[in-house]
Structure 1
């Protein structure tokens, strides 16, 4: 292969000209008929790259040197950038990140000719570009030389990459890492959740026998969300970017144009955040949640409201047994999207509006297409940047029933 250069360590570096972004945060490049996924590049650049992993139809590479730079390039602040594989866009200025995420959503939506008239708004940016994550799960190395050290698993090499701090994490998480790094022999996983607004911490599993000075093994934490206290159990789901989740929740109320007469069904309701926040603006809210921990938290968090109730069970089974017809359904499924039974039940229930929240564009498109084949129209899409400097995009969408 031409355009190969050996560095001082005799590693082969390949010179590539970058064409365009992929949806996974990499860029496209080709050389002598071979396709590359280039991480750390920007379209229009000429770069030298190191091979990370070779697949049958493409090769994953990381930028090692920029020969011709984009005006949108900035210096990544993280010493682990591209090595741990958690971030994809630290080298791209934030304005360009937001434009790119809007483009990724728009390009995917326009692949479906039925969605060409959908209103797609610009991606809403985050106030914090770093230190926004309130929760992290770390892997602890079991074997030397990293035994007892925590870090992340590189998604290509599948090896643990030790980190002493992560710039995406809340400062309180990084402080805790500094106290316990390299001293976790005998453990395999560690979860740290902090209240970005409350300052409380929840650490699992309990390791007070190793670090008696650090409180761990807590079952619940309190976080303030739009000035309201929410109890969150250790197994319960909660958005990792508190400030952006607050923005998303306010948009939810604004976009639904509520008049106070609505009955709202909140599926996959978690600890009841949306149910509690929307309750003052509607007649009744019913939440559905399968997690024992989350449903207990949801009931506790709504204890002061008389128009909110919860159903313990899966959304698939609970929707089949529903004995009322909601005007609005809030869908906030896991990354994998809605199961077929959920969508089939919604089509039979016929809510006037469906508000869908998704962190995965592929599953969002799949579920939305199914609903739109059954007399629903996709009216509006609002991307929200919940995860700055990464490839991930949160989507808020409104679907309306066609009479």
Structure 2
């Protein structure tokens, strides 16, 4: 059979044979010298695809029909799958998703010859495959025919797709979507955060003058995390999967092997979750946070503890002025990872143990490789499935100071 590449304006699909996965959740394929990134496919499959967007060196396509199916394929339950581009793995059996994420992390780590000794554990599964997200940001269309409707923007086509629900979102968020859909004319963005354990909701911005049937404009929310109440301000960061974040926190305490004498430095500490949870088991905890909102929340959340304090500053600046030597440092940086001067400062501070938490494998590898240049050894890596049905992987790493 001759395979022909159809014009992108044609209604006919392209037939492709699928090879390996990419880090963005797509699979590779080639045809007549052209490279394709195929979303919704599995290696070994033969599929028909439709063009989403053409770039100079590759073309992004979505699967429209499966001609030869992988045994790991399941039917995606979401009617908007691949259209909104938020999920990449809904078509994968969950056991296969977990194995794939473990494989991705393992292969990346073992590329470094110095990491051949690292213990890499299997990805920790999520109890919930759907309805786990406690926070969502929606785009609201200002143009007919979708004016006033909220949805998601496809990252390739940049089109807004109106939704009536998102299967990743907490049920309370989907309930609110149904009530306000089509009513927020004149707005462009909407943020909804709910407490998975508390049931409270925080909706921003305030739209009472447009639609008053739902209370909006709340400044903060209370959420219970491993039984502890935490205040979370509207701009403050908080993990989107509460249950998996609780597992991650328990993992952190487990791998510290605390005896009560430790001085802990909690960098990029947000609303102080790790600081508050560790306080009963250590001598002192100092948290560092640059966000005004988050540092206020952290101080409030730790008000009952006398061995916790916080520094309002960037991590890179705070480390330069640190007046004590922590035994343990927790690094939980943004997706972009740590700035180099943070890593340089840590080499001077010389904590006995560093616990690295990252939602980006590339920045995790870059930062750990720098720390492990003659100073630290990466001992253990634990992937955590914080984001089921997506490409994203949370990574937990333990580094120990070399003698």
TM over 0.5: yes
Aligned to 1:174: 174
Aligned-pair CA distance for 1:160: 1.3
Deviations 1:285-344 (A, max 9, x none): 000001111111101111111111111111011110000000000000000000112111
In structure 2, how many angstroms separate the alpha carbons of the residues matched to 1:375 and 1:6? 55
Taking the TM superposition and a 5 Å limit, the aligned residue runs for 1:114-263 are: 114-263=114-263
In structure 2, how many angstroms separate the alpha carbons of the residues matched to 1:87 and 1:130? 11
Q: Partner of 1:20: helix, strand, or coil?
A: coil
Taking the TM superposition and a 5 Å limit, the aligned residue runs for 1:65-84 are: 65-84=65-84
| Counterpart check, 1:353 vs 2:349 | no
CA RMSD in angstroms comes to 1.4
Q: Is the 8 A contact 2:270 2:289 kept in 1?
A: yes
Q: How many residues align?
A: 402
Taking the TM superposition and a 5 Å limit, the aligned residue runs for 1:318-357 are: 318-357=318-357
Q: Is the 8 A contact 2:184 2:211 kept in 1?
A: no
In structure 2, how many angstroms separate the alpha carbons of the residues matched to 1:345 and 1:20? 39
Deviations 1:179-237 (A, max 9, x none): 11111111111000000000000000001112222111000000000011100000000
Aligned to 1:54: 54
Q: Is the 8 A contact 2:49 2:62 kept in 1?
A: yes
Q: Partner of 1:255: helix, strand, or coil?
A: helix
In structure 2, how many angstroms separate the alpha carbons of the residues matched to 1:107 and 1:29? 21
Aligned-pair CA distance for 1:2: 4.3
In structure 2, how many angstroms separate the alpha carbons of the residues matched to 1:32 and 1:89? 27
In structure 1, how many angstroms separate the alpha carbons of the residues matched to 2:23 and 2:120? 17
In structure 2, how many angstroms separate the alpha carbons of the residues matched to 1:102 and 1:57? 29
Q: Partner of 1:12: helix, strand, or coil?
A: coil
Q: Is the 8 A contact 1:194 1:201 kept in 2?
A: yes
Aligned-pair CA distance for 1:125: 0.6
In structure 1, how many angstroms separate the alpha carbons of the residues matched to 2:349 and 2:177? 48
In structure 1, how many angstroms separate the alpha carbons of the residues matched to 2:257 and 2:158? 47
Q: Is the 8 A contact 1:5 1:12 kept in 2?
A: no
Aligned to 2:389: 389
Aligned to 2:400: 400
In structure 1, how many angstroms separate the alpha carbons of the residues matched to 2:107 and 2:184? 45
In structure 2, how many angstroms separate the alpha carbons of the residues matched to 1:182 and 1:37? 34
Give the TM-score, by structure 2 length. Answer: 0.98
Deviations 1:12-51 (A, max 9, x none): 2111111111111111111122211110011111111111
Give the TM-score, by structure 1 length. Answer: 0.98
Structure 2 unaligned residues grouped into runs of 5+: none
Aligned-pair CA distance for 1:10: 5.0
In structure 2, how many angstroms separate the alpha carbons of the residues matched to 1:303 and 1:3? 67
Aligned-pair CA distance for 1:6: 7.9
Q: Is the 8 A contact 1:25 1:89 kept in 2?
A: yes
In structure 1, how many angstroms separate the alpha carbons of the residues matched to 2:254 and 2:202? 33
Q: Partner of 2:231: helix, strand, or coil?
A: strand
Aligned-pair CA distance for 1:350: 0.4
Aligned to 2:290: 290
Q: Is the 8 A contact 2:183 2:211 kept in 1?
A: no
In structure 2, how many angstroms separate the alpha carbons of the residues matched to 1:210 and 1:141? 15
Aligned to 2:270: 270
Aligned-pair CA distance for 1:3: 2.1
In structure 1, how many angstroms separate the alpha carbons of the residues matched to 2:147 and 2:337? 37
Aligned-pair CA distance for 1:5: 8.6
Q: Is the 8 A contact 1:39 1:61 kept in 2?
A: yes
Q: Partner of 2:325: helix, strand, or coil?
A: coil
